[in-house]
Amino acid sequence: MGGNSFGTLFRVTSFGESHGPGVGCVVDGCPAGLLLSAEDIKRDLVRRRPGHDGAAPQERAGVSSRNEEDEPEILSGVYEGKTLGTPIAVLVRNKDPRPDDYDYLKDLYRPGHADWPWEAKYGFRDHRGGGRSSARETVGRVAAGAIARAFLVSQGIEIRAWTSQAAGVDAPEPGMPESDAFDWNEIENNPLRMPDKAAADSALEKIKNLGAQGDSAGCTVSCIALNLPPGLGEPVFDKLDARIAAAMLSLGAAKAIEFGSGFAASKGRGSETNDCLTPPTDFAGELPPGVPPISFRSNNAGGVLGGLSTGAHLRFTVAFKPVPSIAMRQETIDRRGGKVEIANRGRHDVCVAPRVVPVVEAMCALVLADFVLLKRSDRAF
Amino acid sequence: MGGNSFGTLFRVTSFGESHGPGVGCVVDGCPAGLLLSAEDIKRDLVRRRPGHDGAAPQERAGVSSRNEEDEPEILSGVYEGKTLGTPIAVLVRNKDPRPDDYDYLKDLYRPGHADWPWEAKYGFRDHRGGGRSSARETVGRVAAGAIARAFLVSQGIEIRAWTSQAAGVDAPEPGMPESDAFDWNEIENNPLRMPDKAAADSALEKIKNLGAQGDSAGCTVSCIALNLPPGLGEPVFDKLDARIAAAMLSLGAAKAIEFGSGFAASKGRGSETNDCLTPPTDFAGELPPGVPPISFRSNNAGGVLGGLSTGAHLRFTVAFKPVPSIAMRQETIDRRGGKVEIANRGRHDVCVAPRVVPVVEAMCALVLADFVLLKRSDRAF
Amino acid sequence: MGGNSFGTLFRVTSFGESHGPGVGCVVDGCPAGLLLSAEDIKRDLVRRRPGHDGAAPQERAGVSSRNEEDEPEILSGVYEGKTLGTPIAVLVRNKDPRPDDYDYLKDLYRPGHADWPWEAKYGFRDHRGGGRSSARETVGRVAAGAIARAFLVSQGIEIRAWTSQAAGVDAPEPGMPESDAFDWNEIENNPLRMPDKAAADSALEKIKNLGAQGDSAGCTVSCIALNLPPGLGEPVFDKLDARIAAAMLSLGAAKAIEFGSGFAASKGRGSETNDCLTPPTDFAGELPPGVPPISFRSNNAGGVLGGLSTGAHLRFTVAFKPVPSIAMRQETIDRRGGKVEIANRGRHDVCVAPRVVPVVEAMCALVLADFVLLKRSDRAF
Amino acid sequence: MGGNSFGTLFRVTSFGESHGPGVGCVVDGCPAGLLLSAEDIKRDLVRRRPGHDGAAPQERAGVSSRNEEDEPEILSGVYEGKTLGTPIAVLVRNKDPRPDDYDYLKDLYRPGHADWPWEAKYGFRDHRGGGRSSARETVGRVAAGAIARAFLVSQGIEIRAWTSQAAGVDAPEPGMPESDAFDWNEIENNPLRMPDKAAADSALEKIKNLGAQGDSAGCTVSCIALNLPPGLGEPVFDKLDARIAAAMLSLGAAKAIEFGSGFAASKGRGSETNDCLTPPTDFAGELPPGVPPISFRSNNAGGVLGGLSTGAHLRFTVAFKPVPSIAMRQETIDRRGGKVEIANRGRHDVCVAPRVVPVVEAMCALVLADFVLLKRSDRAF
């Protein structure tokens, strides 16, 4: 089938291998009349590459030194600075390919990577930098997400993600009411995109040490979406949380997701985890006649009930495994079935934490843009 | 859009409200020539209703007393005991509806339920037993899952789920190598479907106490799929884990999912979490020429790499929040926006644990059946 | 894959074999709040069975005598007479099955029917009355179309079809301006649903003679949709005419379709076939700011330009081949590859003309309902 | 929604405006291991531009002089000359844009074009050369079709199209048995792609005269597909003929399609139009056990019964209206709703006939490639 398209009305199709001519996407279904430029897309692509000219002054401890400019070119769908309602194709050329760096991997299957099952599936693969299963594939996601975000902003919706844990160091929770330790402005100020400088410093130290040992670190990324109208989601299968979960688990190193209090809720009691309804404080969203605005006294549900947005903040956390490419020696198998040892060379992040943050936002934006459009067909009148 | 269809080639469309004429499904794309009878479907529907004539002798502590026979009728797609390749429609009549029981809920929005966002979305709802957002909707899923499972069995694939935690009591892990405490045969022998009698007894005691207090309990359900061929999944969006995550988060009370070592992996190191490849022990699955069979020394990945099955067991755990319908008084809002108190009456489970186990298996079966068919188009020759 | 679902936002899934327990459909995506009852559906089902209690007093010359009541039961999606926004499942039981009538066909492949390719595809078929490839399958389409039509009526859109040719006898064209011979009211007054009594009498006479000879007749059905807003359709693949064409060619005996002046236009000149724009006379439809209302001086385009509705009437004609089941002897092949002769028995129409008219309307309604909903996502603001 | 994707397993997404940076496509789901190069794609693109370096020595009477090289660049999905199973993105830069040529159209709605309904839909359009509704959009289709054709050839399937009528001049039918006048080799030898030199000469003369008058001509294109396995198609909605019809009516100037004897059949009798089955002569295709190979004594059905390929040649004809851009003066409306006169300037074909032939083949190839893959899921064993 492919499986490289995502969404129903706001639909992205992604393409590209790590060391082919380029990576990119086609966004079909973006409504017409939206202001959009290549700069809007580049802004998010830059955030995907911290440590270079990005917003976060990366100290390079944890991040690959592959130095690509990632210049997005809009090939179609935009005229005189506005979206036409036609497909928006975006191309980013691969500029810094050193495919020879990967020759030693040609006949090996790296532990923790898709090499072996990919070859079992297709009988054939582009081994250079992981080919299609490289993190470079997320360039297309981020470009598409930037377009989705432009649409969402026009609807008043905002998305924010951050590193909530890295190398075992937890960041504070944003909380409800707001936690003092959590600082929204800090997120883009430190190399790990954590909302607390002390936590970031501590985690960065650990990541450096792991990198020095030739090892790698895992992390979690949390995300919040503000000002969602209630009723986003299409039960019973295309629920808001179901689609967000699919979006996040489609990311390379993602291994888990939880909404609201998640796993903790599974050990709790109903009387604790139910979020009671109260008269509205700052309810956002238009309602059909006869439906009163409400608020919730807590948000254990993470802003989703029955697969629909509730009007409270959408809130979820994604767990990422440690980067599988490590310099330490590992046993594996080669193409002839023989035992071999491998020690990864080349440019690799130690932790996906800072770079995956805008990717999480992008995927969240894609899901929400689709549901905002789908919601327009809810009612006959 | 609806959102009531799931799958690409093996595709289920679900229908029905809790207190309407019936619930059911249409399965389109089930291959022709498969043996199938209403009995095959009923077998799984019975497991969805432990405590009655089901496999698990439920003591009714934790389970609703709604006593419905759930007789599936196959309306189409099967002739002389074999699937025709045409849509298989299954209808289960609702037999024990006491809609008047729900009159007191008509103008209220229950905490922890979809009542309010549902009404915000559609401007209108069937309040009786939650209408379409009732757990009774899973009848259609289980019926479809039974058909998927019949197909998977024909391909040698097996799926097993169990309650891995309930009311805070953990069951042992199946482990690799096998844990002594984990007993596959015990699962269907106790009312909670836990793989360990002592854990089940302890959890059941806690559930009873919570029920007596008018409260409820959460749980986790784990699931394993055996004998998967490598290469199931369609990157980069329809990855095996992405679709499983969507399937599971589309279940009513599900709040989280993790694959393999999941959240724990996010705190670990690459050298620990990478599953090294070794020569094969009991590799299952046909491979294209030139691809050697392999095994993994551990299964932290939960059987998925790069969104593709690896040939190791697929392994994931889903977290369910406590049942939101509780007899304790809670504050909420009514249709006019006024504050009211609510204490749920009627028939409600205290914990979804035993009944949701076959639903998890059903959703897993639907995902796998679809990917097994999709896999047939991987290669040109 | 199945292939038994149609539509994106307003989506029907059809099921059922001719001699199985029943036929029906699930409509997913019908907006909430629409008035709907089983009577609304039955009204169109009755029109599918002229000659009985239907609107057209069929003289049975051309129509099968299979006498089924076709009582639709709404299984879900409607509460207190209004659509819920959830899937609407409709079941019609098969009541008059005489499967033994078909025993002589069990091992034969009938000329002009799907018997042989069906068996080549699935290796297996339900031979009774054509199984899934029977015209009885259109019950599900008509039921779904009735729901679509209820939605379209709420949007001011009307659909009318009629027999424009039968057994070689042409009916007058509605024309622009209106033709005198074409009488909208006559359509449901004669057994063939032709807009002219004299034409209907003449065609009916020919059909009777063909039936007496054991032969059958072809026909064309024309359809018009009024009050469409401009801009329905989703270029470049899901154009309005592309989807209508797919809808119509998915009907059993359909072999051709033309829009507006169709094949005649392919022999004409641009200066004749271009429909010039003029100031509006009776323009229907809301327009974005800055777009002037217009009219067309002719409608050779059949109301579609570039795959989008123009605001003029949508107008197309579908050609149906003669009913393949004939009493005359024909040569064919049996299951062992041997030559045999066949003379169809049982109940068969001589011409699909009167019964297929509401089916054409139903399919047109399904396409339009979908595009009306899709149109809601055209613009960002 | 977009509507710029086509197909289920073999799926193309098209992008690009006539005078934007480029046009192209992404093909997702092409099986792995197929030999493919940019040259394979260019070969068909060249055929789309006769009169230049194309196969047909066009005399330029009927064809636009826009002189673009149409160099396809494969951006992804191919490695070492073979398809990877990943999305294949193809980009063709627009090289000869003279957007100023279109300034006089900026505020007009051209008769016979999508200008007005497009603006009514999106509130905004790229007026340069028709923007997305330009015939230049078919570059993406032809590129994708070349990939589909490479796959089909690997399965032994061949597709051939030709101009069967132009400016009212009919070409001979290929017939069954073969007509003497019909010459397969002649098709690519004359500027109109007709299978008969005399007919081509006569039609070309008429087209030149029409062009000289500032007028334009219509045409029909016929297409045949050889060596199809029986059972291609997914009833009841995604039938082979339904999808082919959708594919063809999605082409810019297409107004009608007929399969086999089409409209003629609708005036005939069953005893004439039924294609009787006989023992096989040259049956192509693998059959399940128990299904005998057969042949048909005629092919009025055009190779489709019940929406499935029969094993006989698939055969259909598409009608195209005259090119709407004509130099003669026509009345129309401008953006302020005022009456104006227009006489098209710029580069326009007089007849779509020669250039649309490879586009018809491409769309046919896309449909067939999809169904060949879908067919792999027909049976359980």
Name every chain D residue with its beta carbon within 8 A of the beta carbon of C253: none
Please check whether residue D307 lies inside any domain of the structure.
yes
Are the C-beta atoms of C105 and C125 separated by less than 8 Å? no
Please check whether residue B276 lies inside any domain of the structure.
yes
Name every chain B residue with its beta carbon within 8 A of the beta carbon of D34: 380
Number of C–D residue contacts, CB under 8 Å? 431
C84–B11: do the CB atoms touch at under 8 Å?
A: no
Please check whether residue C380 lies inside any domain of the structure.
no
pLDDT of C56 strictly over 70 = no
| Average pLDDT over every residue of C182-205 | 96
pLDDT of B23 strictly over 60 = yes
Name every chain A residue with its beta carbon within 8 A of the beta carbon of D9: 1-2
Gap from A270 CA to chain B (nearest CA, Å):
5
Domain that holds residue C124: 5-283+292-375
C373–A377: do the CB atoms touch at under 8 Å?
A: yes
pLDDT of B337 strictly over 80 = yes
| Average pLDDT over every residue of A261-289 | 89
Gap from C286 CA to chain B (nearest CA, Å):
23
Considering only alpha carbons, which residue of chain C is nearest residue A373?
C377
| Average pLDDT over every residue of C156-167 | 97
**Structure confidence at residue D99 (pLDDT):** 63
**Structure confidence at residue D181 (pLDDT):** 84
pLDDT digits (tens, 9 = 90+) for B204-234: 999 999 999 999 999 999 999 999 999 999 9
Is C223 or C285 the better-scoring residue by pLDDT? C223
Which of B107, B109, B267, B299 to probe by mutation at the A interface, max A CB count within 10 Å?
Answer: B267
Gap from D33 CA to chain B (nearest CA, Å):
6
What is d(CA C301, CA B49) in angstroms, rounded to the nearest whole number?
Answer: 59
D29–B381: do the CB atoms touch at under 8 Å?
A: no
Counting residues of chain B whose pLDDT is more than 70, the rounded percentage is 91
**Structure confidence at residue D55 (pLDDT):** 33
C75–B20: do the CB atoms touch at under 8 Å?
A: yes
Which of A10, A27, A236 to probe by mutation at the B interface, max B CB count within 10 Å?
Answer: A236
Band of residue A68 on the pLDDT scale cut at 50, 70, 90: low
Number of A–C residue contacts, CB under 8 Å? 50
Both structure tokens of A296: 């919730």
- The alpha-carbon radius of gyration of chain D (Å, integer) is 21
Which of B12, B76, B132 to probe by mutation at the C interface, max C CB count within 10 Å?
Answer: B76
pLDDT of C63 strictly over 70 = no
What is d(CA A318, CA C185) in angstroms, rounded to the nearest whole number?
Answer: 64
What is d(CA A170, CA D135) in angstroms, rounded to the nearest whole number?
Answer: 57
| Count of domains for chain A | 1
Please check whether residue A380 lies inside any domain of the structure.
no
The shortest CB-CB distance from D326 to any of C6, C258, C271 is to C271
Is B132 or A95 the better-scoring residue by pLDDT? B132
Are the C-beta atoms of D185 and D160 separated by less than 8 Å? no
Q: Which residues pair with A295 in a beta bridge?
A: A278
Considering only alpha carbons, which residue of chain D is nearest residue A124?
D84
A293–B337: do the CB atoms touch at under 8 Å?
A: yes
B236–A261: do the CB atoms touch at under 8 Å?
A: no
pLDDT of A64 strictly over 60 = no
**Structure confidence at residue B42 (pLDDT):** 97
Name every chain D residue with its beta carbon within 8 A of the beta carbon of C302: 255
pLDDT digits (tens, 9 = 90+) for C219-241: 999 999 999 999 999 999 999 99
A17–D82: do the CB atoms touch at under 8 Å?
A: no
The shortest CB-CB distance from B32 to any of C15, C84, C124 is to C124
Cβ atoms within 10 A of the Cβ of A276, count?
18
Is D286 or C30 the better-scoring residue by pLDDT? C30
pLDDT digits (tens, 9 = 90+) for B112-135: 999 999 999 999 899 888 899 999
pLDDT digits (tens, 9 = 90+) for A172-210: 998 755 667 899 999 999 999 999 999 999 999 999 999
**Structure confidence at residue C95 (pLDDT):** 86
C75–B91: do the CB atoms touch at under 8 Å?
A: yes
Please check whether residue B235 lies inside any domain of the structure.
yes
pLDDT of B289 strictly over 70 = yes
Name every chain D residue with its beta carbon within 8 A of the beta carbon of C294: 109, 116, 333, 337
Subunits with 3+ C-beta pairs closer than 8 A to A: B, C, D
Mean pLDDT computed over every residue of chain B? 91
**Structure confidence at residue C258 (pLDDT):** 98
**Structure confidence at residue D60 (pLDDT):** 44
What's the CATH code of the domain at C158? 3.60.150.10
Considering only alpha carbons, which residue of chain A is nearest residue D133?
A86
Residues on chain C bordering chain B, Cβ-to-Cβ distance under 8 angstroms: 1-5, 8-9, 11, 13-17, 20-24, 26, 28-29, 32-33, 73-77, 79, 82, 84-89, 91, 121-126, 131-132
pLDDT of B346 strictly over 70 = no
C28–B5: do the CB atoms touch at under 8 Å?
A: yes
Say which residue the tokens 């401009």 belong to.
C230
C290: left (phi over 0), alpha (psi -120 to 50) or beta: left
pTM: 0.96
Tell me whether residue B20 is exposed, middle or buried, using C-beta atoms within 10 angstroms of its C-beta: 0 to 12, 13 to 18, 19 or more.
buried
What is d(CA B2, CA D110) in angstroms, rounded to the nearest whole number?
Answer: 38
Please check whether residue A251 lies inside any domain of the structure.
yes
Which of B82, B154, B377, B381 to probe by mutation at the D interface, max D CB count within 10 Å?
Answer: B377
Tell me whether residue C374 is exposed, middle or buried, using C-beta atoms within 10 angstroms of its C-beta: 0 to 12, 13 to 18, 19 or more.
buried
**Structure confidence at residue B54 (pLDDT):** 33
**Structure confidence at residue D379 (pLDDT):** 94
Please check whether residue D380 lies inside any domain of the structure.
no
Residue D6 φ/ψ, nearest 5 degrees: -145, 130
Please check whether residue B48 lies inside any domain of the structure.
yes
The shortest CB-CB distance from D333 to any of C277, C325, C336 is to C277
Subunits with 3+ C-beta pairs closer than 8 A to B: A, C, D
Residues in chain D where the model's pLDDT stays below 70: 1, 50-68, 96-99, 176-179, 282-285, 346-347
Name every chain C residue with its beta carbon within 8 A of the beta carbon of B20: 75-77, 79
A268–B218: do the CB atoms touch at under 8 Å?
A: yes
Q: Reduce the secondary structure of chain C to three states and give it as a string.
A: CCCCEECCCCEEEEEECCCCCEEEEEEECCCECCECCHHHHHHHHHHCCCCCCCCCCCCCCCCCCCCCCCCEEECCCEECCEECCCCEEEEEECCCCCHHHHHHHCCEECCCCCHHHHHHHHCCCCCHHHHHHCHHHHHHHHHHHHHHHHHHHHCCCEEEEEEEEECCEECCCCCCCCCCCCCHHHHHHCCCCCCCHHHHHHHHHHHHHHHHCCCCECEEEEEEEECCCCCCCECCCECHHHHHHHHHHCCCCEEEEEECCHHHHCCCEHHHHCCCEECCCCCCCCCCCCCCCCEECCCCCCCEECCEECCCCEEEEEEECCCCCCCCCEEEEECCCCEEEECCCCCCCCCCHHHHHHHHHHHHHHHHHHHHHHHHHCECC
pLDDT of A52 strictly over 50 = no
The shortest CB-CB distance from B376 to any of D85, D151, D377 is to D377
Band of residue B62 on the pLDDT scale cut at 50, 70, 90: low
Report chain C's terminal Cα–Cα distance, integer Å: 37
pLDDT of C18 strictly over 50 = yes
Subunits with 3+ C-beta pairs closer than 8 A to C: A, B, D
**Structure confidence at residue C289 (pLDDT):** 81
Are the C-beta atoms of C17 and C134 separated by less than 8 Å? yes
**Which residues have CB under 8 Å from C183's CB, separation 6+?**
C195, C196, C197
Residues on chain A bordering chain C, Cβ-to-Cβ distance under 8 angstroms: 8-9, 29, 31-34, 83, 85, 151, 154, 373-374, 376-381
